[in-house]
Amino acid sequence: MRDILVEILAGAAGGTREEWAAVVGEIEKLPLPVIVGSNWMINPKGTNSQLETVRAAELIVRAEHPFVAH
């Protein structure tokens, strides 16, 4: 999931995969779907602009991949 997010961000917003990977952080698998219809979350860290961009990409990825297995 993280690789998909990073790939979208680097392609759409520019910058390197490494930069976006640092902003995205780790994917946290939740024991139950805490977010309606999904069992994963991220806690990105970066500038306000980066966070807005990550949240937009997160919505796209979550729509296609709501659940992670591990």
Q: What is the DSSP string of 5-56?
A: HHHHHHHHH-S-HHHHHHHH-PEEEPSS--BTTB-EEE---S-HHHHHHHHH
CA atoms within a 13 Å half-sphere pointing along the CA-CB vector of 56 = 10
pLDDT per residue as tens digits for the range 5-24:
999 999 999 999 999 999 99
pLDDT tens, residue by residue, 24-33: 999 999 987 6
More confident: 60 or 70:
60
pLDDT, tens digit (0-9, with 9 covering 90-100), for 39-69:
999 999 999 999 999 999 999 999 999 998 8
Where are the domains positioned within the chain?
2-64
The predicted model scores a pTM of 0.89
